[in-house]
Amino acid sequence: MRKIMENNRKWVADKLNEDPDYFNKLALGQEPRYLFIGCSDSRVPSSAITGTGPGEMFVHRNIANLVVHTDMNLLSVLQYAVEVLKVKDIIVCGHYGCGGVAAAAGNKQYGLIDNWLRNIKDVIRQHEREVMSIYDEEARLRRMVELNVIEQVHNLSKTSIIQNAMLSDNPPRLYGLVYDIKEGLLRDLKVDVQGFKRYEHIYSVIEEPASLSV
């Protein structure tokens, strides 16, 4: 921890040297433009790879950058970012070489995390024909990373939080990105969010909750 504390003091000194009022301004509140939903992998630092600083990006990270509809943590972050912070852009960012995707592609048991990885296996099932037609393992895993990001962006579209936000005057824009660790570059997958509207009759919900009959 000594290194962590020393780095912190150096960072504070550098910031104050640039702007003596830096932390006073930061303490006034946050108005981030972006919500970043990324993988927990330590090689994918959200602020560093996007060139954003403190106060510019709200962040949620989990194994394999999943948007799971029963994940109260993710949904709480999403609701706060959209309804309170009014973020303009929501990014789902995966990365090539993702261990979670690779684990989901196999059939080994890892313990508790298997239940989480099941969500990625569902993505593989949905795209089984395409995935299994790629014989090179590295290329197949890279494509699985991309398909996972695309499906997580679509999962965002299914949430009532995003559906309600889309009815507002300034709805957030949704993006799917992949980070290439070997190159350091981000790739925009240009996810067709509008095209997903063909499933509106299945996933759309009204803003006022309807009563359920059991």
Any catalytic annotation for residue 188? no
Any catalytic annotation for residue 43? yes
Any catalytic annotation for residue 9? no
Which CA distances in Å does 72 have to 39, 86, 171? 17, 19, 22
State the catalytic residue, choosing from 93, 98, 143, 154. 98
Q: What is the pLDDT of residues 128-179, one digit of tens each?
A: 999 999 999 999 999 999 999 999 999 999 999 999 999 999 999 999 999 9
Structural domains of the chain sorted by starting position, each given as residue range(s) with its CATH number in brackets: 35-198 (3.40.1050.10)
Q: What is the pLDDT of residues 9-42, one digit of tens each?
A: 999 999 999 999 999 999 999 999 999 999 999 9
Q: Cβ(192)–Cβ(57) under 8 Å?
A: no
Any catalytic annotation for residue 93? no
Predicted local confidence at residue 197, as pLDDT: 74
Largest CA distance in the chain: 63
* Token code pair at residue 138: 């590295």
Beta bridge partners of residue 176, listed in sequence order: 92
Q: What is the pLDDT of residues 55-66, one digit of tens each?
A: 999 999 999 999
Any catalytic annotation for residue 118? no
